[in-house]
Chain A
Amino acid sequence: MAGLELLSDQGYRVDGRRAGELRKIQARMGVFAQADGSAYIEQGNTKALAVVYGPHEIRGSRARALPDRALVNCQYSSATFSTGERKRRPHGDRKSCEMGLHLRQTFEAAILTQLHPRSQIDIYVQVLQADGGTYAACVNAATLAVLDAGIPMRDFVCACSAGFVDNTALADLSHVEEAAGGPQLALALLPASGQIALLEMDARLHEDHLEQVLEAAARAARDVHTVLDRVVRQHVREASILLGD
């Protein structure tokens, strides 16, 4: 069957990238004045916006308050215009809930929740345009937003997706590569210590290849960290210049 060639003989992918190359990342922090922290990230054509409120009082039932830690509440939402076809997604549907749980697991590993017992930290992420790697873009945007809010964190959280085609591991999959049906893996990493916050894959991949794909995802996540590091330093420098330091 004349399918789309995901990896050409010379080693180029559909959009002209090499196997381990990331898409172009642009990010900005502090995009909303009214939220405690906010950030916007573009990874290739995938655009995500994250907003953080907290730590504040527990909303809703007091019984959910944890006596020794803060509650991290993550909500994921995908805009109706984010995919090729306009699709109305009700608020509590399965994919949003699952993504929310993944994000919560990821950020509970990185945020120092013991410093704010009995309070709540809200992280809201919205995907404005989905072109593959939505989980990774959400995690990266949320990391920048949490840093913007000044909530203490153990380390950055950087995420990237990876796939496996023709015995080569591909990093940062786009929508075309995800839709082709091969195995795909999403990895969220704390770069300084090399610890994995979340690793997710729901496809079939031979055990022998796992090491290679994991290594490609980890390297890509560290490259994302380099970019985000630069964005944060630039933002802090600009903010402190205006404050007259």
Chain B
Amino acid sequence: MAEAVGAVAESLPGDRARAARTVLDQVVLPGEELLLPEQEDAEGPGGAGERPLRLNAGTRSRGRVVCGPGLRRCGDRLLVTKCGRLRHKEPGGGSGGGVYWVDSQQKRYVPVKGDHVIGIVTAKSGDIFKVDVGGSEPASLSYLAFEGATKRNRPNVQVGDLIYGQFVVANKDMEPEMVCIDSCGRASGMGVIGQDGLLFKVTLGLIRKLLAPDCEILQEVGKLYPLEIVFGMNGRIWVKAKTIQQTLILANILEACEHMTADQRKQIFSRLAES
């Protein structure tokens, strides 16, 4: 009976909150609560309300901690809402307390302002195009949001075309809006994606990994065949090589990269480079 009581006691809710610093890069699950570094000091040894007197007041910066994807504020703690690894980034300019977020694997995209995505035009209604970006609503794209577009000079966009653009409005309460120009009015690579090529879907985690600054997969792929490639943060990749066969090989490699270790990948690349 003693062990039954013990088992019940340790699973009671209560002090399950852990300091965020101690679980960095570890797996966290929904329902866990995390303490921010400031609360940790207040609850540390020395107890209620005692704070050591600091002579240089500037070092303890009580900056704002930014709560990223997968975390919600719950009272004065952070509640984990997705399963994944907890990450932290120190603030660049010394202000604020940094960003905490949960790196989770997901296939379904949720529009975020500023993300560059690949969309498929599904309808033309009046002055706007409806673009399917894989979220819960089609995004709207005005025909004036292309480089060099005026009321007389409409862009040549048909239903079924692929568009690479970025979100200017993307929150949970409004329909997402995207544009194909940047803040200076230049296209900078956005707009209608050309003919041919292949569009396929991968998970969001793989896209983030491929878009990381020092990604070796992309360098190896580039050495294999000459290609054009567009990555959308909504999990879509468009790829085009000289022949259809090369395009299909590249698409299969990128899709399989998710499940392969680095060694297996190098083997496949070396085998393809020989043939």
A-side residues, CB < 8 A to B, are 20, 36-37, 53-57, 112, 114-120, 147-156, 190-194, 219, 222, 225-226, 229, 232-233, 236-237, 239-240, 242-245
Q: Which 3 A-B pairs have the closest CB atoms?
A: A150-B106, A119-B136, A155-B31
Residues of chain B within 8 A (CB-CB) of A20 are 4
Q: Which residue of A lies closest to B212 (CB)?
A: A244
Residues of chain A within 8 A (CB-CB) of B41 are none
A160 shortest CB reach to chain B, Å: 14
Q: Does B8 contact A (CB under 8 A)?
A: yes
**B31 and A190 within 8 A (CB):** yes
Q: Does B72 contact A (CB under 8 A)?
A: yes
Residues of chain B within 8 A (CB-CB) of A112 are 72, 81
Cα–Cα, bound, A226→B25 (Å): 21
B189 shortest CB reach to chain A, Å: 26
Stretch touching chain A among B53-61, B154-162, B241-249, B257-265 = B257-265
**A117 and B31 within 8 A (CB):** no
Q: Does B113 contact A (CB under 8 A)?
A: no
Count of chain B residues near A, Cβ 8 A: 43
Return the CB mask of B66-104 against A: 1 if under 8 Å, else 0.
000010100000010111110000000000000000011
Q: Which residue of B lies closest to A149 (CB)?
A: B108
Among A222, A237, A243, point to the contact of B258 (Cβ < 8 A).
A243
Residues of chain A within 8 A (CB-CB) of B84 are 236, 240
Among B103, B137, B262, point to the contact of A118 (Cβ < 8 A).
B137
Among B8, B11, B108, B135, point to the contact of A150 (Cβ < 8 A).
B108
Cα–Cα, bound, A147→B106 (Å): 9
Known A-B contacts A56-B136, A152-B70, A236-B27; the reply to A245 vs B103 at CB < 8 A is yes
Among B8, B16, B85, B108, point to the contact of A55 (Cβ < 8 A).
B108
Q: Does B209 contact A (CB under 8 A)?
A: yes
Residues of chain B within 8 A (CB-CB) of A232 are 27, 29, 83
The B97-119 residues at the A interface (CB cut-off 8 A) are 103-108, 110
Most buried by A among B110, B206, B259: B110
Q: Does B273 contact A (CB under 8 A)?
A: no
**A147 and B83 within 8 A (CB):** yes
**B12 and A236 within 8 A (CB):** no
Known A-B contacts A119-B136, A152-B70; the reply to A193 vs B30 at CB < 8 A is no
15 contacts between A and B (CB under 8 A): A55-B136, A57-B136, A114-B172, A147-B83, A148-B105, A149-B106, A151-B82, A154-B31, A154-B81, A156-B30, A226-B11, A232-B27, A240-B105, A242-B258, A242-B261
Q: Which residue of A lies closest to B11 (CB)?
A: A222
**A194 and B13 within 8 A (CB):** yes
Cα–Cα, bound, A151→B262 (Å): 29
Residues of chain B within 8 A (CB-CB) of A115 are 172
B252 shortest CB reach to chain A, Å: 14
**B30 and A154 within 8 A (CB):** yes
Q: Which residue of A lies closest to B25 (CB)?
A: A245
**A233 and B29 within 8 A (CB):** yes
Residues of chain A within 8 A (CB-CB) of B135 are 56
Known A-B contacts A55-B136, A232-B83; the reply to A237 vs B27 at CB < 8 A is yes
**A153 and B81 within 8 A (CB):** yes
Q: Does B32 contact A (CB under 8 A)?
A: yes
Q: Which residue of A lies closest to B132 (CB)?
A: A57
Cα–Cα, bound, A143→B185 (Å): 46
Among B7, B16, B25, B205, point to the contact of A192 (Cβ < 8 A).
B16
**B12 and A243 within 8 A (CB):** no
**B31 and A192 within 8 A (CB):** yes
12 further A-B pairs in the complex, CB-CB below 8 A; given A36-B108, A120-B136, A152-B70: A54-B136, A55-B136, A57-B138, A150-B108, A151-B108, A153-B30, A229-B29, A236-B105, A237-B27, A239-B205, A240-B84, A245-B103
**B31 and A239 within 8 A (CB):** no
**B82 and A116 within 8 A (CB):** no
Residues of chain A within 8 A (CB-CB) of B259 are 242
**A155 and B27 within 8 A (CB):** no
**B30 and A150 within 8 A (CB):** no
